[in-house]
Chains A and B, each alone.
Chain A
Amino acid sequence: METVLRVAFFYFFILLGMRAIGKREFSQLSPFEMVTLLLIPELAQQALVRQDFSATNAVVALSTLFLLVFLTSLAAYRMPKVGAAIEGEPTVLVYNGRFVQRSLALERVSPDEIYSEMRKSGLERVEQLKWALLEADGKISVIPLAPEDKQIKPRSETVG
């Protein structure tokens, strides 16, 4: 019983921690972020299994984890608000060719990273973008302006 409760506690604790550190940590990992993510299981492992290295304990712990993951995905699927709280929502980084500065600061995304994603899509200037979005999985999506959108001219032609 204790193993079930321990796994449940640490599952929600780590889930909360992962949501708190932000989306960027799930995409390309910097050395610092990699160390952080590697340390989390190392620190949690001792508290989860204690000195009990039996297969029985591992089966109980894994079953608890699988059940929690399954229930979480079920709740996220059935209740969009729960899904948004657990998985997060996309953040608008660029709209109509202009950076959303507060979002860049909150998500710790630099214009360089957006330009890097733009170049991968064959775009060279921020004015060519309708949206740049930081997705819930930490990846940046870029959506170019459609021909009809280009009639809405951005106020600046300056290369960002």
Chain B
Amino acid sequence: MTGTTSTAAHRNRTIAESQAADPPKPPELPRPIRFYRYQWVGLAVILLVVGLALFGVFGDSVAETRVAGGGLELRVEYPSRFRYQQVSPIRVWLTNQADEPVDTAIVSFSRAYLLQFSNLTIVPSPERPFEVEVIDLAPGETRLVLAEIQANHYGKHAGWVAATAGKSDTVRAELSTTVYP
């Protein structure tokens, strides 16, 4: 086949897009919106979940509590809500509010509370299980004790962080953490 006849045959087998008619269109009918009853229920649930998520209900949340007594002030920042397997810090600031220096203060964590979590690390290193010694705390001075926890059990876990110095009263901050599955 020569080039000329090949081009002619090609032209005979093809047409331009503008020459091709579209197939018949479906008729335009009213398009009312109807749902089955179970779809209403499902939609309501989905909307609720997404709405709550947008308002941060299922997200991480940090709470802060502050207690004072016996010349010590304890400020604790802890996760009030977080999700399974997530890691979150508990920050404890201990302030000496007295006019005298504190030789040794002990910051202790509720054992039952911390045992609900895994991969626990506490800085500075605890002298005894769940107890950190804070030495030579000058008047007005603040020290930070940091505990990092990983959520390992679902549900609501309550506990406390306490601080005591010598014979003074113990100050205790209550904690409550909800772990989402």
- Which residues of chain A have a CB within 8 Å of any CB of chain B? 1-4, 52-57, 59-60, 63-64, 66-67, 70, 74, 77-78, 80, 90, 92, 95-96, 98-103, 126, 131, 133, 143, 155-156, 158, 160
- Complex: how many Å from CA A97 to CA B100? 101
Contact check, B12 vs A156: say whether CB atoms are below 8 A apart. yes
In the complex, residue of chain A having the shortest beta-carbon distance to the beta carbon of B10? A101
Chain B residues closer than 8 Å to A56, beta-carbon distance: 58, 83-84, 180-181
- Complex: how many Å from CA A114 to CA B135? 84
Contact check, B14 vs A99: say whether CB atoms are below 8 A apart. yes
Contact check, A95 vs B46: say whether CB atoms are below 8 A apart. no
In the complex, residue of chain B having the shortest beta-carbon distance to the beta carbon of A95? B20
Chain B residues closer than 8 Å to A54, beta-carbon distance: 83-86, 180-181
Given the contacts A2-B59, A63-B46, A78-B31, A133 and B86 also touching, CB distance less than 8 Å: no
Contact check, B84 vs A63: say whether CB atoms are below 8 A apart. no
Given the contacts A52-B86, A53-B85, A156-B9, A4 and B23 also touching, CB distance less than 8 Å: no
Given the contacts A4-B54, A54-B85, A74-B33, A63 and B12 also touching, CB distance less than 8 Å: no
Contact check, B12 vs A155: say whether CB atoms are below 8 A apart. yes
Chain A residues closer than 8 Å to B55, beta-carbon distance: 1
Contact check, A133 vs B17: say whether CB atoms are below 8 A apart. no
B47 within 8 A of A: yes
Q: Mark B41-61, 1 if CB is under 8 A from A, else 0.
A: 001011101100111101100
Contact check, B83 vs A57: say whether CB atoms are below 8 A apart. yes
Contact check, A78 vs B33: say whether CB atoms are below 8 A apart. yes
Contact check, A67 vs B46: say whether CB atoms are below 8 A apart. yes
Chain A residues closer than 8 Å to B56, beta-carbon distance: 1
Contact check, B31 vs A160: say whether CB atoms are below 8 A apart. no
Contact check, A59 vs B17: say whether CB atoms are below 8 A apart. no
Q: How far is the CB of A84 from chain B (nearest CB, A)?
A: 11
Interface size on B, residues (CB 8 A): 33
Contact check, A102 vs B17: say whether CB atoms are below 8 A apart. yes
Chain B residues closer than 8 Å to A126, beta-carbon distance: 13
B127 within 8 A of A: no
CB-defined A-B contacts under 8 Å, sample of 26: A1-B54, A1-B56, A2-B59, A52-B83, A54-B181, A55-B180, A56-B84, A56-B180, A59-B49, A63-B49, A63-B50, A77-B31, A78-B33, A90-B23, A95-B19, A95-B21, A96-B20, A98-B12, A98-B13, A98-B14, A100-B16, A100-B17, A100-B20, A101-B16, A158-B12, A160-B13
Chain A residues closer than 8 Å to B43, beta-carbon distance: 70
Chain A residues closer than 8 Å to B84, beta-carbon distance: 54-56
Chain B residues closer than 8 Å to A155, beta-carbon distance: 12
Q: How far is the CB of A59 from chain B (nearest CB, A)?
A: 6
Q: How far is the CB of A64 from chain B (nearest CB, A)?
A: 5
Interface centre among B31, B47, B50, B55 (most CB of A within 10 A): B50
Given the contacts A92-B23, A102-B17, A64 and B31 also touching, CB distance less than 8 Å: no
Contact check, A99 vs B15: say whether CB atoms are below 8 A apart. yes
- Complex: how many Å from CA A102 to CA B22? 14
14 further A-B pairs in the complex, CB-CB below 8 A; given A133-B23, A160-B13: A1-B55, A52-B83, A54-B180, A60-B58, A78-B31, A80-B28, A92-B23, A95-B20, A98-B15, A101-B16, A126-B13, A131-B23, A143-B23, A156-B13
